[in-house]
Homo-oligomer: A and B are copies of this chain.
Amino acid sequence: MTTITGRTRLVAVLGDPVVQVRAPALLNRLLAGDGVDVVVVPVHVRRDDLGTVVRGLQATGNLAGLLVTVPHKAEVLRYADVRSEAAELAGAANALRRLDDGSWHADNFDGAGFVAGLVQAGHPPDGLHVALVGTGGAGSAIAPALLTAGVGHLSLHDVEEARAKKVAERLSAYWPGRITVGTELGAADGVVNATPLGMRPEDPLPFDPAELRPDTFVADIIMKPRETELLRRAAELGHPVLPGEPMLVNQMDLYRAYFGF
């Protein structure tokens, strides 16, 4: 890592908890390698304190930007004056920066990071039928990114069907006729788990990979464990599988471009 001096600028990563965030280690290594005098630090913020902490950071002269993780991604939009289309469509942001006029801009790179990982893994989604299981925070960011990347048909699945319907309705205004809710998974070319199921060993599967066609890829956004029970079963059945890590790793370059370093 680079030596921190009085000239070093800061990026704060906001979360609750924050101990699990990997952006500081990943980004600091990249920045130090390129001689960029910016350091990324974790900032533990409880829900009730989000406004106080964000306002304080926004008043900090040498703050280069904010990264935001669970549970603050939706709420942090309150502290942005301008939102990117990705943030607007996701209803959530994971990065904020100060514009030249002093106002604050919010963006969301979760979806773009996920799609970049798909493409790298040899599964460019354009023209495919992709099923997205889970339409909470992560799913809401991934859905518009898949549509932007040209999926032919996006089916949304959620145990709270009303939530999936709401996301479908919102996105259909931009991509009419391409989104359905609750279609059979057996028709999909690829299925994405965007639920938190699989983080804990006792979690049920978010869906049964036995329902899928044999060539359907199975992607999981869960990073810990690296091989979820879902991916293990899907791999046993011969499906191409994609772990969650690339979604995060691919965002590092997107963040750097966004913050301008």
Cα–Cα, bound, A49→B57 (Å)? 10
Known: A56-B54, A61-B46, A62-B18. A41 touches B3 (CB 8 A): no
Q: Is A60 within 8 A of B39, CB to CB?
A: no
Q: Chain B nearest CB: distance from A43 CB in Å?
A: 5
Known: A8-B24, A25-B4. A60 touches B40 (CB 8 A): no
- Nearest-neighbor residue (CB-CB) of A52 within chain B: B59
Known: A60-B45, A62-B42. A6 touches B28 (CB 8 A): no
Cα–Cα, bound, A7→B49 (Å)? 19
Q: Is A42 within 8 A of B8, CB to CB?
A: yes
Flag whether A1 is at the interface (Cβ < 8 A).
yes
Known: A6-B19, A6-B22, A25-B4. A62 touches B39 (CB 8 A): no
Flag whether A10 is at the interface (Cβ < 8 A).
yes
Cα–Cα, bound, A59→B14 (Å)? 12
Cα–Cα, bound, A7→B25 (Å)? 11
- Nearest-neighbor residue (CB-CB) of A8 within chain B: B42
Q: Is B60 within 8 A of A44, CB to CB?
A: yes
Q: Is A40 within 8 A of B4, CB to CB?
A: yes
Which residues of A does B touch, CB under 8 Å?
1-8, 10, 13, 15-22, 24-25, 28, 39-46, 49, 52-57, 59-62
**What are 20 inter-chain pairs, A to B, with CB distance below 8 A?**
A1-B2, A3-B25, A4-B25, A4-B28, A4-B39, A4-B41, A5-B21, A5-B24, A5-B25, A6-B13, A6-B24, A8-B42, A18-B61, A39-B39, A43-B60, A44-B60, A46-B59, A49-B60, A53-B60, A56-B57
